[in-house]
Chains A and B, each alone.
Chain A
């Protein structure tokens, strides 16, 4: 057996309330690694032949929580959440930090596969090989902080009662949804701790559709045997030493960018991307540090960077709001994108979003979209049930976020995500509002614009990504570039925190993989063969789509219209992206990844990779 794996997966069928243990061959694990890679394989094998008819929010969808071989060993523990995405209708690998993945492996499982749909709200409780589906009616409806508090207490009591004499039981690790997930809001996240979220993909809604409020796991075993423990120890130290050297990254994390990105690279969303530049010093990281931080270092399992920070609003009308200090993405999406430029209001917005169980990026995107429609008079305050949705008004945005989470009034439309809401509102108002929807194939784009070409994404990065608007997985050339989604697929499949890789040589992750699993894997082989296979599977399922939406790459492999408008302000004023250039680059990219001129994976590409059945399924698109 390959080292580094617990060797079995837990499958829970909520419809029949039954469990079984599932195994994957060494060949499958060797090829697909874990996390995002393995998710594509499981989803294709189990649902591929009827993919277009599977409703992501119906009981046929599978919800996957997968670790990878490096989880727990590589500093910075994470877990990968996947399934058919209710945002893109394809497959998104969405990872979240915390201890869940490590705890699950200590319980003896590499992952949990959730099938079916429960009749009543429930949660899954795992203590090593003891698994139970428990009633969750008393926690259904609770917000993030209450859910965690009640479940932590309840599960510890349960452990004490069932397994006495052990000494004090440590709390289990919990993944859960808030009200937004319960109400199947397509921008709902799967959350860990209070504020950590697997946001991209909308898997909180999938969890809600299965009436699964949470999974709590306590594992008492060791992490699996590795091939070379001395090697693993040395590599852990190497990763840590590298992280310790990066003082600003450790101190400020990506939160340093809330001011920097706007001021320096002009690629930060401001008022629904109408601008990408600001020079508002009140939004500098020093202001966050001095005004709202209560903890400078906060981290997940084994992490040397501990880039998270805890923030509390100390005074004023938002007093008492708690969240982890908004990282760059949330400073942008729940700050500048809404015209909010003070740390206190930004922290308040982030805490509201956490509590509701929404994804801050996706929800910030849709709130900005709604506000622009209000600014343009397309949505009136009557449409918004009386909310004056003015830029910078945190209270108004918070009220609307609640309406989205509970699907009240206009919230019911916005709960469908930016793209679907734009279709609906366009129809309702008889105006094309798609130009204001800053999304790609149903996924709101990450907070990194491309117009200035000074930040990281290339002009085709979102357009060609198999994860659509996800800023952590973008298309770029050459394919083995460290920012390319083929490389990113390794981090998401090994399942560990990619932030601890910055500054290291690009072979470290593969050396780590070898020390853990015993398998030699070169970067070339990963990119040309294994990642390539994962990307083709993701692409195939994305294009097959369904049942409500399908994507035509000739139309939908494109940037949001906004990126073709000239920038109105800042040092890159007037700059925009030319469509012809995007098309040209896009076709170069298609060629490199083996897609035809229409963006459909070529037969020869798929057959070379041994994906003959995928080739057959794509026949109808050609």
Chain B
């Protein structure tokens, strides 16, 4: 096994209907990147627009990366190794153009510093997937990145929540969101 070749681009597959709402992913993501338990500074955030329909909201790594293109100061780039969006926080001016450009409004500002937060796949070893798998919820799973329309997963919390509510509670579900 070659050392460098271990970093084949990956993607995090997601089955929202399996999400238990435990937020273990938020805890490890913030511990890993911020050294604190800090749900709002986690790059993966679990939304609960209605009880029972919790789901993780995080970067889908769209194939055309609209956020990267929208950044006026080139603070965003794409990692060749992982396919993740990399934020250069020293360059980020916190204008929020990437949020507007993202079809899922996924990037968000760090709550205390002027830098945007976007999942960087932990450099190829996603911490969130580990805990989700460890707990056997399997809402998150690592798969090799291929030539697919990942952009379909970049959806707003409202869109995801409505679909999920119908899937979980039936037609009626939507009225709770």
Residues of A that sit less than 8 Å from B by CB: 72-73, 99, 102-103, 106, 145, 148-149, 152, 165-168, 170-171, 193-195, 219-223, 225, 229, 233, 236, 240, 244, 294-295, 297-304, 306, 310, 312, 320, 322, 324
Evaluate contact between B47 and A170: CB separation under 8 angstroms: yes
Q: What is the distance, in angstroms, from B48's C-beta to the closest C-beta of chain A?
A: 6
Residue numbers in B under 8 Å from A322 (CB-CB): 52, 169
User: B111 — which chain A residues lie within 8 A by C-beta?
Assistant: 166, 220-221
Task: Determine the distance from Cα of A102 to Cα of B35 in the docked complex, in whole angstroms.
Answer: 17
Cross-chain contact of B108 among A72, A167, A221, A298 (Cβ < 8 A): A167
29 intermolecular pairs with C-beta atoms under 8 Å apart: A106-B39, A106-B40, A148-B176, A165-B96, A167-B116, A168-B99, A168-B106, A170-B40, A170-B45, A170-B47, A194-B52, A219-B40, A221-B38, A221-B40, A221-B111, A221-B112, A222-B41, A225-B36, A236-B27, A240-B135, A295-B52, A302-B27, A303-B24, A306-B21, A306-B135, A306-B137, A310-B52, A320-B172, A322-B169
Q: Tell yes or no: B51 within 8 A of A by CB.
A: yes
Cβ < 8 Å to A, chain B residues 150-176: 156-157, 168-170, 172, 175-176
Q: Find chain B residues with CB under 8 A from A165 CB.
A: 94, 96, 99, 109
10 A-B pairs with the lowest CB-CB distances in the bound complex, closest first: A167-B108, A222-B38, A220-B111, A193-B51, A222-B36, A297-B20, A306-B20, A223-B37, A299-B22, A194-B51
How far, in whole Å, are A171 and B111 apart by their CA atoms in the complex?
Answer: 15
Give the nearest-CB partner of B38 in chain A: A222
Q: Give the interface of B toward A (CB within 8 A).
A: 17-18, 20-24, 27, 30-31, 34-41, 45, 47-52, 57, 94, 96, 99, 105-109, 111-112, 116, 134-137, 156-157, 168-170, 172, 175-177
* Cα distance, A152 to B161, chains bound together (Å): 13
Whether B135 and A244, one on each chain, are in contact in the complex, defined by CB atoms closer than 8 angstroms, is yes
Q: Are B37's CB and A73's CB within 8 A?
A: yes
Measured between beta carbons, the chain A residues less than 8 angstroms from B50 are: 148-149, 152
The interface residues of chain B lying within 8 Å CB-to-CB of A302 are: 22-24, 27
Cα–Cα, bound, A537→B167 (Å): 50
Interface contact tally, CB-CB below 8 A: 126
Inter-chain contacts of A300 with B (CB < 8 A): 21-22
Q: Which of B20, B35, B156 has the most CB of A within 10 A?
A: B20
**A222: B residues at CB distance < 8 A:** 30, 34, 36-38, 41
Q: Please indicate the chain B residues that have their CB under 8 angstroms from the CB of A167 in the complex.
A: 96, 99, 105-109, 116
Asked if A223 and B40 make an inter-chain contact with CB atoms under 8 angstroms apart, the answer reads no
Across the two chains, which residue of chain B brings its CB closest to A233?
A: B31
CA A303 to CA B31, docked complex, whole Å: 16
Give Cα distance in the complex from A417 to B57, angstroms. 44
- Is there contact, CB below 8 Å, between A168 and B37? no
Kindly identify which residue among B39, B109, B157 contacts A166, using a CB–CB cutoff of 8 Å: B109
Identify the closest chain B residue to A98 (Cβ).
Answer: B51
Do A244 and B134 touch across chains, with their CB atoms under 8 A apart? yes
Q: Which residues of A contact B107 (CB under 8 A)?
A: 167
CB contact under 8 A between A306 and B22, given known A165-B96, A194-B52, A222-B34: yes
A324 to B108 CA separation, bound complex (whole angstroms): 32
Given contacts A220-B112, A295-B17, A299-B20, 18 further A-B contacts (CB under 8 A): A106-B40, A145-B176, A165-B94, A167-B99, A168-B57, A168-B106, A168-B156, A170-B39, A229-B35, A236-B27, A240-B135, A295-B52, A297-B137, A300-B22, A302-B24, A303-B24, A306-B137, A324-B52
Please state if B135 and A301 are interface contacts (CB–CB under 8 Å).
no
The residue on B at minimum CB distance from A195 is: B51
The reply to whether A171 and B49 form a contact with Cβ atoms under 8 Å apart is yes
Contact present for A220 and B40 (CB under 8 Å) = yes
B108 and A102 contacting across the interface, CB-CB below 8 Å: no
**CA–CA, A171 and B53, complex, Å:** 13
**Distance to closest chain A CB from B89 (angstroms):** 15
A197 to chain B, nearest CB (A): 13
Q: What's the Cα separation between A297 and B39 when bound, in Å? A: 21
Contacts of A145 in B (CB 8 A): 176
**Residue from A73, A166, A194 with most neighbouring chain B CB atoms (10 Å):** A166
Most B C-beta atoms less than 10 A away, residue of A194, A219, A297, A310: A297
